[in-house]
Amino acid sequence: MPGTFTYTFDTPTYKGTSTINTGLFINNEWVDPVDGDLIEVVNPATGGGITKVAGGSKADVDKAVEAAKKAYKTTWGLKIAGRARGELLSKLANLIEKNLDEFAALESLNAGKVYAKAKAADIGGAIYVYRYYAGWADKITGKTIETNPTKFAYTRHEPYGVVSMLAWKIAPAVATGNTVVIKPSEITPLTALKLAELVKEAGFPPGVINIVNGYGATVGQAISEHHGIEKVAFTGSALTGRRILKAAAETNLKDVSLELGGKSPTIIFEDADLEQAIKWAAGGIFFNMGQVCSAGSRIFVQEGVYDKFLEHFTAAAKGLGDSAGDPFAAGTQHGPQVSKVQFDRIMSYIDSGKEAGAHVQVGGERHGEKGFFIKPTVFTNVTPDMKIVREEIFGPVGVVLKFKTEEEVIELANDTTYGLASHIFSENTSRAIRVAHALESGSVWVNCANSLEISVPFGGYKQSGNGGRDLGEYALDTYTQVKGVHINVGLKL
C-alpha cells in the first residue's frame, strides 16, 4: 500500500532529498485507495521506474467530493471572506517558493523537463499564478443595474461549489470560493503530491483541496459523471474533452471548460527580423520538447526569405538535438518526451511523414539508446493533407511551408480544426495587426512565440477549447456563476 517515497538527488544542478507521500490526499489527510491500486511512475530520461503511487477509483472520488461539499458549506465558499482566501493562497505561494528547487527537481525527474527551465518557467510561473489570484480573491464584484425607480437590482458572482481540475487551474477556482477535487496526470503526479503537503501546512481547511491520483478511464470518468461536481475544467486532448462533454451531458449537465490541443501556425513575413524570428520559431515548437499545446508546429515562410530561414532554422534544430541529454546536466537544452506512450506516438507521426513523401530536413529519429529522447525534427516538401500537417503531434516535430501573399497565408493558417494560438513575425505594424485579427485563434503573438502573461487570458477557438478562459481576470468568470437579485423598493400591487 502507499506510504512515503524518498529520493536523493545528486546531480550537477541540484543536490537534495525529497520525501513525498504516495497516497490520496482527501480532507487534509493521506489515505489509501479503497481498491488498493498502484500506478508506477517512470523517469523518462532513463525509462526506469521511480516509485509507485496510489491509484484511485470511483469510490475514492466519492469520498473526495463529500469532503469538498462539506468544506464548501461549512468553512469555504460563501462562509469565508475573499481576503482570507487570498491570504491562504499567498501562504501557499510562499511555501512553494521556499521549496522551489525541490519542486523543479521533481518536475525534471518525473516529466523530463530541463531543470533550469522547470525552475524558471514551470514552478516560477506557478508561484506567480498563486500570488496573482491571491490578489483577486477579495475583488470579485458584481454590478448594480438601472431598472426603474421602484426596484433595486444587482448581480453577484458566486462560486459553483465543488469543481474539478484535471490540470493546474487550482488558484482561480479556490480564489473565487470553490472547493476542488484534482486528478493529476497519472504519468506525472509527484509535484501535485508534494503540493498537497504544502496545502495543509498553509492552513487550508480540510476538504478545500483534494487530490485523487488515478487513470483517466477510472478517476477521470468518475469525475466527469459525478452528480456532486458542478464544474469540470480540463486541459488535454480533444478526444478526452469530447468524452468529458458527453459524460456531463448524460449526467447532471455540469458546466465544462476545456483547453484542448492545437496545430498553431507561425507566420514569417519577408520584412521580419529574421534572426529573431528564427530564435522565437525554434522555441515556439521545440520548447519542452514540443509538449506545449500552443506549439507553433506549422511554420509558414514567405518565399523571399524561405531559403535563408530554413538554413538557419535547421541549424538551430540540430543544435538543440546535439544538446539533448540528462535534464539535470549543465548545458542540456533538450530533454526526453514525458512517457513511452508519447514517445511511440510521436515516432509514429514521424514515420507517417516519411511514408507520405515529406522530406526530413533534420532529425526524424530517436536520440540515444535509453530514455524517451527524440531529436528535434523538421519536415519540408509537405502537403496540406498530410497527417503531420493536420494533426496535433505534441512533440518536437514541425513542418515548414512556403507562401507568397498575405491573403494566401491567412487561408492556409486557418485551414485547421484547431484554433488555440498563432505567431506572426513582421516589422510592418499594420500588417501584423491586420493578420492577427484575421487569424482564427484565441491567442496571437506578434514578433514572439508562446510568451504568456499571467494577466492576459488564454484559451482556444474551434476544437481547441470552449467554456471560458484561463489566466487573467477572465479566469474568474470561468469559476463563478452570475446571480441576478431584484429588490422591490416601492412597487405595490
DSSP string, 72-92: HHHTSGGGS-HHHHHHHHHHH
3-state secondary structure of 447: coil
The residue count of the chain comes to 493
DSSP 99-150: THHHHHHHHHHHH---HHHIIIIIIHHHHHHHHHHHHHTT-----EE---TT
pLDDT exceeds cutoff 60 at 206: yes
Nine-digit cell at 493? 400591487
SS3 of residue 368 by DSSP:
coil
Angle formed at CA 167 by CA 255 and CA 98, multiple of 5 degrees:
135
At residue 52, the 3 state secondary structure works out as strand
pLDDT of 102 reads 98
pLDDT at 296 over 90: yes
Of 275, 236, 229, the residue nearest 251 (C-alpha) = 229
Q: Rounded to an integer, what distance in angstroms lies between the CA atom of residue 21 and that of residue 4?
A: 4
Helix (H, G, I), strand (E, B) or coil at 58: helix
Give ∠ CA 476-477-478 in degrees, rounded to 5: 90
* Predicted local confidence at residue 184, as pLDDT: 94
Going from the N-terminus, what domains does the chain have, and what CATH number goes with each? 4-260+468-480 (3.40.605.10), 265-453 (3.40.309.10)
**Cβ contacts of residue 5 below 8 Å, gap of 6+?**
19, 20, 21, 22, 50, 51, 53
CA pseudo-torsion sign 136, 202, 182, 262: positive
Q: Side chain identity at 8, as an amino acid letter? A: T
Tens digit of each residue's pLDDT (9 = 90 or more) over 17-64: 999 999 999 999 999 999 878 999 999 999 999 999 999 999 999 999
At 166, is the pLDDT very low, low, confident or very high (cuts 50, 70, 90)? low
User: Which of 43-52, 231-240, 265-274, 391-400 comes out lowest in average pLDDT?
Assistant: 231-240
Tell whether the model's pLDDT for residue 403 goes beyond 90: yes
Q: Report DSSP state, residue 5.
A: E
Predicted confidence (pLDDT) at residue 167 exceeds the cutoff of 70: no
Integer CA distances (angstroms), 477 to 44, 80, 85, in order: 37, 19, 17
C-alpha cell at 209: 483541496
The predicted structure's pLDDT at residue 168: 59
Grid coordinates belonging to 81: 471572506
Whole-number percent of the chain with pLDDT over 90:
96
What one-character DSSP code corresponds to residue 217?
I
Nearest to 106, CA basis, from 178, 30, 194, 230: 194
Half-sphere exposure of 315 (CA within 13 A, CB side): 8
259 is catalytic: yes
Q: Encode 318-332 in three state secondary structure.
A: HHHHHCECCCCCCCC
**pLDDT confidence of residue 1:** 61
Amino acid at 403: F
Q: Are strands 377-380 and 397-403 parallel, antiparallel or unpaired?
A: parallel
Tell me which H or E stretch contains 21. strand 15-21
* DSSP element (H, E) containing 62: helix 58-74
Helix or strand (DSSP H, E) at 461: strand 461-462
Instruction: Copy the grid coordinates of residue 151.
Output: 426596484
Distance in angstroms (rounded) separating the CA atoms of residues 195 and 21? 11
- CA–CA distance, 118 with 121 (Å, rounded to integer): 6
- % of the chain surpassing 70 pLDDT: 99
**CB-based contact 130:115 (threshold 8 Å):** no
Q: How far apart are the first and last CA of the chain?
A: 68
Q: What is the largest CA-CA distance in the chain?
A: 83
pLDDT in tens, 101-160: 999 999 999 999 999 999 999 999 999 999 999 999 999 999 999 999 999 999 999 999
CA distance 230 to 159: 10
- Check whether 169 has a pLDDT greater than 90: no
**Helix, strand, coil % in the chain, rounded to nearest 5:** 40, 25, 35
- Catalytic residue chosen out of the listed positions 107, 225, 259, 392: 259
Taking Cα atoms as reference points, which of 178, 176, 196, 262 lies closest to residue 54? 196
**Could you tell me the three cell numbers for 382?**
509537405
Q: Is the pLDDT of residue 165 over 90?
A: no
- Note the pLDDT tens digit of each residue in 245-274: 999 999 999 999 999 999 999 999 999 999
Query: What residues have CB less than 8 Å from 217, skipping those under 6 apart?
Result: none
Query: Chain-wide mean pLDDT for the chain?
Result: 96
Sign of CA dihedral 125, 130, 135, 136: positive
